[in-house]
């Protein structure tokens, strides 16, 4: 597993469980204290709809599936920016659950973070958990 590419923000305590989104590597990384539990390929926002870097908290959790635009559904939703409805979620699906776009590893979303292993990330998350995007 790769080392952090930047110093961990001071607000993340050494014993915290937290989620890291590495925009350069297009990865979602699950941390428990100093240990990396898992790393998953992800896709963030395309230019003009960039995923906003910063330190956030999980503000809403919704298992879904929810229709986020007409005909497109996502599940395992972790909202970290309530004002703009930006979060981490599954691959986009149609109403029958068929994946519409399986792109991972490069920016391809309208600002959210898409992860193929969204159920594992959702299961790990808790309300109020820190999410660090850099």
- Lowest-confidence region among 1-10, 44-53, 86-95, 103-112: 1-10
pLDDT tens profile 59-74? 999 999 999 889 999 9
Task: Quote the tokens at residue 22.
Answer: 């590495």
pLDDT for the residue 84: 82
CATH code that applies to domain 17-133: 2.40.440.10
Give the Cα separation of 50 and 4 in Å (integer): 21
Task: Quote the tokens at residue 109.
Answer: 């979303």
Other CB atoms within a 10 A radius of the CB of residue 113 amount to 26
* DSSP letters for 38-96: EEEEEE-BPTTSPPPPEEEE--EEE-S-EEEETTEEE-SEEEEEGGGTEEEE---B-TT
Task: Quote the tokens at residue 114.
Answer: 């898409």
pLDDT tens profile 94-134? 999 999 999 999 999 999 999 999 999 999 999 999 999 99
At residue 80, φ and ψ (nearest 5 deg) are: -115, -10
Give the Cα separation of 104 and 110 in Å (integer): 14
pLDDT bracket for residue 82 (50, 70, 90): confident
Is the pTM value of this prediction over 0.85? yes
Percent of the chain with pLDDT over 70: 96
pLDDT tens profile 4-41? 457 788 889 889 999 999 999 999 999 999 899 999 99
């Amino acid at each position: 597993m790769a080392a952090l590419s930047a110093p961990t923000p001071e607000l993340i305590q050494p014993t915290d469980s937290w989620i890291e989104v590495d925009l350069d590597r297009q990865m979602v990384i699950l941390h428990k204290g100093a240990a990396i539990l898992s790393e998953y390929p992800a896709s963030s926002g395309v230019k003009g709809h960039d995923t906003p870097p910063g330190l956030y908290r999980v503000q809403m959790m919704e298992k879904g599936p929810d229709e986020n635009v007409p005909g497109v559904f996502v599940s395992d939703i972790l909202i970290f920016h309530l004002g703009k409805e930006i979060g981490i979620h599954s691959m986009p699906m149609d109403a029958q659950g068929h994946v519409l776009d399986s792109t991972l590893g490069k920016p391809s979303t309208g600002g959210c973070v898409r992860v193929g292993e969204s159920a594992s990330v959702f299961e790990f998350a808790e309300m109020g958990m820190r999410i660090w995007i850099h």
